[in-house]
Amino acid sequence: MITSETLSALDREDPLGPFRGQFDLPEGIIYLDGNSLGPLPCRTLARLIDVTREEWGQSLITSWNKHGWIGLPQRVGDKIARVVGAAPGEVVAADSTSVNLFKLLAAACALRPGRKVILTESGNFPTDIYMAEGLVSVLGAGYEVRTVEREDVAAAITDDVAVVMLTHVDYRTGAMLDMTSVTASAHAVGALMLWDLAHSAGAVPVDLNGAHADFAVGCGYKYLNGGPGAPAFLFVAARHQEVARQPLSGWMGHAAPFDFEQRYRPAEGITRHLAGTPAILGLVALEEGVDLYLEADPEDLRRKSVLMTECFAALVAQECGDHGLTLASPGDPGKRGSQVCFRHEEGYAIIQALIARGVIGDFRTPDILRFGFAPLYLRYQDLWNAVIHLRSVMRKREWDSPEFRIKAAVT
């Protein structure tokens, strides 16, 4: 049996405990939604004030050179590379995950002429499928997006597939794919492999080069704590960089943007995958979040993540087992990301009732309650307190109230 005392003892021994003080966390809130938006690191606010007042305010346009603004996408990208198992020069921070998907899917299709299929799973995050469909509508000429069930992906990689596009950790359940084996299945028939790391980067160990991945994208506002709408990132394996070209040929991807040539010439390396002017304030905030993450021992992070998800799942079973909550995540922590999800037909109302109590998780249609676990700032005691609140919500049917059934724009 798990007790409050058990979890308090784990907090006292936690080597990551001091990191909690590095975040501006609201008093009285248990935040289990870092898998959707990470909280504010204390250092980020100070850095943004400095950049705004001094670099933007005083140095003005000279900051592109004087303060190195022009190199921020590559500099932050190299730091993110350390998080996702890539080498320097293989990652750049820019744009949104959706835009980066479009770029890399187009590049991948061009590298496999004669193959017309983008393969993905039917339950993939919708924007990934939308962007693939948008690309196909532009390419025409028989291109298609083919969707299959997750368990059928490997068998569906046939010799007409140009690129396989999958999300490493499922956004609804946290189920995690074996990156190495799926990539090998794609390569075995000549297809390229593109991974979406939105729920992986900063949450679970990722080794893109160890898995021989070709391309990847990810966002900066979840476990990397870069802030709402933070710049995303993209990865292109070094072996593809000389020939891979993306279609959004903006001036920042040009070989010499300030020569203002009338014809496009792609830059060398990862820089050619930039397009427009970098979002400096967003990149600065993201860099602070990544720097803070890189200060932690990755083994400590994974160990705590696994233990937290195990404890939370066990606590829900222990305290709320007779109230219809069904585990939606894999039972094996080695096969899930840093989140635990449950199904309940009143899932939305339950989450709203929890939020009213100061426990913030989120809901995904049609019936999934999601709880994310970020080891940098969560305490084990938070798990106990969250589940006790959940128990009260379920026992007292607090969710069964009209105000908790009103669907907000963001769930």
**Residues marked as catalytic:** 125, 196, 221-222, 370
Q: Are strands 30-31 and 359-360 parallel, antiparallel or unpaired?
A: parallel
CA atoms within 13 A on the CB side of 282: 17
Handedness of CA 123, 130, 274, 162 (dihedral sign): positive
At 340, which amino acid appears? Answer: V
In what helix (H) or strand (E) does residue 284 lie, and over which residues does it extend?
A: helix 280-294
> CA-CA distance, 204 to 301, in Å (whole number)?
8
- d(CA 78, CA 277) in angstroms, rounded, equals 19
Cβ-count burial 294-317 (b if 16+ within 10 Å, e if not) = eebeeeebbebbbbbbebbbebbe
User: Taking Cα atoms as reference points, which of 133, 100, 84 lies closest to residue 253?
Assistant: 100
> Distance (Å, rounded) from C-alpha 214 to C-alpha 58?
42
DSSP string, 310-325: HHHHHHHHHHHTTTT-
Three-state SS string over 262-275 comes to CCCCECCHHHHHCC
**Cα separation values, 254 from 99, 238, 259, Å:** 18, 18, 9
- Nearest in space to 311 (alpha carbons), one of 92, 2, 20: 2
User: 353 in helix, strand or coil?
Assistant: helix
What are the DSSP E strand ranges found in 48-111?
91-93
The amino acid occupying position 164 is V
